[in-house]
Structures are given as C-alpha cells and as structure tokens.
Chain A
C-alpha cells in the first residue's frame, strides 16, 4: 500500500518570506499523480497544485511551486512571498490512477505578520 509522509506537523513563516513544506511517499508504481491541497481555517479544502510523475518539469502555479524528485520519492511545496491568506493546513496526496487518493498527515502553516 502506498504511504505519504509529511514530517513537519507545524511550520511558521514571516509574511513575504519563502517556506518549503516537505512530503515523501512510498510506491512501486511508475506512473502516478501527486497533489497539494490547502485547508484554510473553517473553510473548504482546495487544490493548490498537481504533478504528473511522467513529467520531469516541476509544476508551478503563481507563488506555489513544487520540487519533484522521483528517484527520492519526494514532493515538496514551495510558497514564495507568503501571504496571511496562506495560513492553512496543507496536505500532500498521492494517486496511482486508481480510485483512491492517499493523504499525508498534514502540515499546519502559520504566516506571521
């Protein structure tokens, strides 16, 4: 079974600075998909960014980018120019094109003014 590990339960960053959230996963598959979801306080979870394993280029969405290291099974999220609205729980997730999404335990990020 696939597992997803987020080793940082909590992190904080000053507004306008850059922060990196870590995620590692375990799989024997060659083709799969990785996601970062964001859950703001008392609000619905939303997709931040996704990466397809067969694509070597790292995905980027505005201030959010990933560092995908397939051999190391690592998928970190970098948030540049952090904003107060980035305060949230962040979940890394894995899907092997099957039916089930496997989530990590989450990282609580606090952006400080």
Chain B
C-alpha cells in the first residue's frame, strides 16, 4: 500500500514565523502535490513537483514556496506565516501527474496561525 505521511497533524504558529510542512511518500512516485483545504472551497492546489528539484505553481502559490531535494520528500514552506494561512494542508503523490492516475493523500496538517 502507498503510504503518504506528513510531519505534524496539528501545528500552531505565530504571525511572521517561518513554517515548514514535510511530506514523505514511500512508493517511488514521480509526482507530489500540496493542497490547501478550506470549508466550501474544496481542495486548491498550491504547488506540485514532477521530479526532484522541479516544481510548478498551482492555483494559489502566493505566500508559499516548496522544496524537493529527494524523490520521496516534498516540503511546503510558509516564509512568513499570516493568519489567512490558517487552514488544513494536504500532501498527495501519484505515479503520473495527469490522466486517470489516482492521487494518494496524507492525513493532513491542520495549521493555526495566531
């Protein structure tokens, strides 16, 4: 079974702090994704990566950056956290980025910025 893990289930940070969210997958998937989940808005793509050191912006990249130094690990970085970044963050991976391939999701990190 594919396993996608995220470093924290719950995180509380203060405005202006630098925040790192880590995601690891164990199935040698090429593609990894970071989503933000908000009530009524569903999931919105922040960034995705289709290879090591490669990244592309999603729908809402502003205020975020990412890093993929190893195939299995994809990090989301909030350079200076703000209260409007309080949300649930979901990581996912897939064998192929598009088409019929299933995305496998991590358990999510609920981030609160005070």
Binding site for B on A (CB under 8 A): 4, 6, 9, 33, 35, 37, 43-47, 50, 52, 91, 95-101, 103-106
Q: A91-B42, A99-B50, A100-B45 are in contact. Are A45 and B98 (CB under 8 A)?
A: no
In terms of DSSP, what is the predominant structure of the interface of chain A?
A: loop
User: Do the beta carbons of B98 and A91 come within 8 Å of each other?
Assistant: no
User: Do the beta carbons of B100 and A105 come within 8 Å of each other?
Assistant: no
Contacts of B43 in A (CB 8 A): 91, 101, 103
Binding site for A on B (CB under 8 A): 4, 31, 33, 35, 40-45, 48, 50, 56, 58-59, 90, 92, 97-100, 102-103, 105-108
Residue of A whose beta carbon sits closest to that of B56: A99
Please, how many angstroms separate the alpha-carbon atoms of A29 and B107 in the complex? 32
Please, how many angstroms separate the alpha-carbon atoms of A9 and B39 in the complex? 10
User: Do the beta carbons of A103 and B44 come within 8 Å of each other?
Assistant: yes
Residue of B whose beta carbon sits closest to that of A104: B42
Q: A99-B50, A103-B42 are in contact. Are A44 and B99 (CB under 8 A)?
A: no
